[in-house]
């Protein structure tokens, strides 16, 4: 039984230690818009005025340390950009803010940049290539993991 192809992931909630610090990253650097804020307990942010793509909350994590590596939990949140220039612009803001990149990968189907938010949550910023450019082998998708030229990506930033 296959899932209906119209189904998608609606929103993600991240446990954070400090709402202001998280908003400085998610809104201040990446540009997500605050839709609603509940003091130091929660903030709901989005792109384009949607009620929220991300919920940031301190309900169980106010002042807490990030979870240790090598444990189960969320691997990363992926933020998809509409094109290479827009992705490059986001990466430019990340670099200008002094936030270290953990990786940059060409997957054949997409180009992705990896980093961490202030609470240690994994973040992937990516853009999909058009479906007709996806690498195929013997009729099956053949994703790759090749280095992505970040300097070339930044040169295309809008």
Query: What domain range includes position 90?
Result: 75-158
Sign, CA dihedral 57-59-65-71, equals: negative
CATH number of the domain at 23, please.
3.10.180.10
Judge whether 119 lies within some domain.
Answer: yes
89 with 137, same domain: the answer is yes
| pTM (predicted TM-score) | 0.94
What's the CA gap between 121 and 109, in Å, rounded?
24
Picking from 19, 34, 61, the residue at the C-terminal end of a domain is: 61
Domain-ending residue, one of 18, 35, 61: 61
Q: What is the pLDDT along the chain (158 residues), one digit of tens a residue?
A: 899 999 988 899 999 999 999 999 999 999 999 999 999 999 999 999 999 999 999 999 999 999 888 999 899 999 999 999 999 999 999 999 999 999 999 999 999 999 999 999 999 999 999 999 999 999 999 999 999 999 999 999 97
């Amino acid at each position: 039984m296959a899932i209906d192809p119209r189904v998608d992931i609606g929103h993600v909630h991240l446990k954070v230690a400090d709402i202001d610090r998280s908003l400085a990253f998610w809104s201040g650097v990446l540009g997500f818009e605050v839709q609603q804020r509940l003091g130091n307990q929660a903030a709901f942010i989005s792109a384009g005025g949607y009620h929220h793509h991300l919920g940031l909350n301190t309900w169980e994590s106010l002042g807490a340390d990030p979870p240790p590596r090598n444990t189960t939990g969320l691997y990363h949140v992926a933020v998809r950009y509409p094109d290479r220039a827009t992705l490059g612009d986001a990466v430019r803001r990340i670099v200008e803010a002094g936030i270290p990149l953990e990786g940059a990968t060409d997957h054949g189907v997409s180009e992705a940049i990896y980093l961490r938010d202030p609470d240690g949550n994994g973040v992937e910023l990516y853009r999909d290539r058009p479906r007709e450019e996806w690498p195929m082998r013997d009729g099956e998708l053949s994703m790759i993991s090749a280095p992505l030229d970040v300097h070339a990506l930044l040169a295309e930033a809008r």
